[in-house]
Structure 1
Amino acid sequence: MAVTVPLLLAVLAAFSVPDVLAHGGLANYTVGETWYRGYDPDLPAADQLGQPWMIQRQWASIDPIFSVDDKYMACNKPGVPPPSYIPIQAGENITAVYWYWLHPVGPMTAWLAYCPRDDCTEVDVNQAEWFKIWEAGLLEGPNLAEGIWYQKQFQHWDGSPDLWPVTIPKSLKPGLYMVRHEILSIHIENKPQFYPECAHLNITGTGTVLPPKEYLKKFPGAYDANDPSININVYATNTTNYTIPGGPIWDGFTIVDKYCLGC
């Protein structure tokens, strides 16, 4: 189901705020003025799974994932694939829409994974090779606990959506991809909370490149449980130094001739 953003906002205005804010997590996506409906764990799965408008992998609960070794770290639980894809051109923004987000402390990252053989529905998300295209963490001090994180900055408490725009690298090779948005909340001492969601994209454009192997990660496997950026007590430090886990961002400018992901 694809509708324009103004129409979406008009429809949502007809609902009370408690109804709109009944759940957390990545609820919708927008590309330009077009809105795409995601999975809603508060509605019956039978009314959503397999529907021609569904573009997001199923996430059945707002509960976080606590272990970096959890088999659902890639795309949340249970991760049932959708039948459809969001059309987007390389160089455009895809905006993740949250109608409610509570936590204020921790980094946010966005990832892509190329789907070989022009099909994302049959891809094992644990074997997919993910590369990070965006990240944001602590924006300003005075320290990790009291500073302003991007996770806090994108929150709205007036009933309007929390919007998270990410640009698809313009030089990226066209094809079918999975996009993975992850919020890592570290507000509880040594108890990280991971909130990943995934959708399917049909990326067009004139790009020709894919990232080299050093940018590719698997979930689980991308993170170390002992990483001090993950296993952390933000209240026990007065520093503003924080390294976002998962390695570097691929900016789309590394040219790899005849490189094949998943071959």
Structure 2
Amino acid sequence: MFRSFSLAVLAAALVAPTAVSAHGYVQSVVVGGKTYSGWLPFTDPYESPVPSRIVRKLPDDGPVMDVTLADIACNQGGEKGAGAIATAAAGSKVTFKWTNWPADHLGPVSTYMTSCNGDCKSFDASSAKWFKVDAAGYSNGQWASSKLIADGNSWTSTIPSELKPGQYLMRNEIVALHSVGEPQYYPSCSQVEVTGSGTQYPSGSSLVAIPGLYENTQWPDIWDNNFKSFTTPGPAVAFSGSSDSGSSDDTSSSAASSTKAASSTKAASSTKVTTTAASSAANDQSTSTATSSSPASSSTNRCNSRRRRGMVKRHVARLAKSH
């Protein structure tokens, strides 16, 4: 009885800070109109049998901090295949539903894809070459992460209609820039079998290695009053059809438009903020930072306690399982 009481007290003590300071991960994915559970790191490892998911494993709700590690592709442990695969037609939409995302964890959001060259369940993602489906950074005074929150903590991407059939990984990622000089990466990889009559697959400069994507990226100080604009890292969107994504901003749309000669001037202007737009963005940024849930220093303190919370959660889950 004492042990049960201790477990209840420990669980109750854990709930309050976690609700305020938790990070996030993809908890479900809507593919082909069907909702699939993501990998749930605080419960799935303790189930018997361990559930098969379309989303590859990750250890907890925390970030990857080193862009040179293989973990940056699909998170820690994500280089190995998951047990299930969703099916979706080329040209259809895929929605990644995240857990609650902190409002002050501002930054870009992107989706990439890579072919599994066969069965995704046995595909090692550590040496894959990826193409960009969509990406959004900072536009009209708003970061993509804020749009994700406004859309119910979800991000919708469109599988390119030209893409040839086969099994693919879809990599959805948020980069949090609240801690200056220490960007936090939250990648998640889902396994999808693409159907349809497409015949194309990107090549050359449309492909990028991960790690390698952020090799030359200079992340901005988003709290600096002089911050005005940001260009999303990586190659251009690989297919023009990807611009149909409901979550893409002018970065993705301009990349798609740039493939058309008649729109080249418009594409060039939409890939960066003009002087007038920059001034407006600066004003909007001041407003958005003022309404953030907490300053960067507070965010950093919350992030430093993430690992401890994850360990306690897993311990509680194991104790609950044994009782």
In 2 relative to 1, CA 130–49 (structure 1 residues): closer, same or farther, beyond 3 Å?
farther
Write out per-residue CA displacement over residues 81-129 of structure 1, whole angstroms, 9 at most, x where no aligned residue: 212111100000000001311144211110000111x211222211111
The answer on 1:152 being equivalent to 2:146 is yes
Q: Which residue of 2 aligns with 1:62?
A: 61
Counterparts of 1:161 and 1:153, CA distance in 2: 9
Whichever residue aligns with residue 108 of structure 1, its letter is: V
Whichever residue aligns with residue 190 of structure 1, its letter is: G
Q: Which residue of 2 aligns with 1:13?
A: none
Q: Which residue of 1 aligns with 2:94?
A: 94
The answer on 1:190 being equivalent to 2:181 is yes
| 3-state DSSP of counterpart to 1:214 | helix
Whichever residue aligns with residue 234 of structure 1, its letter is: I
The answer on 1:236 being equivalent to 2:224 is yes
Superposition deviation, residue 251 in structure 1 = 1.6
TM-score (norm 1): 0.77
Q: Which residue of 1 aligns with 2:83?
A: 83
Q: Say what the alpha-carbon RMSD is for the aligned residues.
A: 2.8
More off after superposition, 37-46 vs 165-174? 37-46
The answer on 1:107 being equivalent to 2:95 is no
Superposition deviation, residue 149 in structure 1 = 1.1
Superposed, 1:159-174 pairs within 5 Å as: 161-174=152-165
Q: Which has the higher helix share?
A: 2
Whichever residue aligns with residue 94 of structure 2, its letter is: I
- For the 8 Å contact 1:39–1:48, the answer to whether it is kept is no
- For the 8 Å contact 1:210–1:252, the answer to whether it is kept is no
More off after superposition, 77-86 vs 207-216? 77-86
| 3-state DSSP of counterpart to 1:154 | helix
TM-score (norm 2): 0.64
In 2 relative to 1, CA 98–201 (structure 1 residues): closer, same or farther, beyond 3 Å?
same
Q: Which residue of 2 aligns with 1:29?
A: 29
Q: Spell out structure 1 runs of 4+ moving beyond 6 A.
A: 18-23
The answer on 1:127 being equivalent to 2:127 is yes
Counterparts of 2:165 and 2:34, CA distance in 1: 20
| 3-state DSSP of counterpart to 2:100 | coil
Identity of aligned residues (%): 30
In 2 relative to 1, CA 48–67 (structure 1 residues): closer, same or farther, beyond 3 Å?
farther
More off after superposition, 43-52 vs 210-219? 43-52
Q: Which residue of 2 aligns with 1:227?
A: 217
| 3-state DSSP of counterpart to 2:146 | helix
Q: Which residue of 1 aligns with 2:41?
A: 41
In 2 relative to 1, CA 152–120 (structure 1 residues): closer, same or farther, beyond 3 Å?
same
Write out per-residue CA displacement over residues 187-213 of structure 1, whole angstroms, 9 at most, x where no aligned residue: 111110000010100000111000122
In 2 relative to 1, CA 165–149 (structure 1 residues): closer, same or farther, beyond 3 Å?
same
Superposition deviation, residue 237 in structure 1 = 5.1
Superposition deviation, residue 50 in structure 1 = 5.9
Counterparts of 1:216 and 1:48, CA distance in 2: 39
Q: Which has the higher strand share?
A: 1
In structure 2, stretches of 5+ residues that fail to align are: 1-16, 242-255, 257-323
Counterparts of 1:87 and 1:250, CA distance in 2: 21
- For the 8 Å contact 2:84–2:121, the answer to whether it is kept is no
Q: Which residue of 1 aligns with 2:267?
A: none
- For the 8 Å contact 2:44–2:50, the answer to whether it is kept is no
Corresponding residue to 1:246 among 225, 228, 234: 234
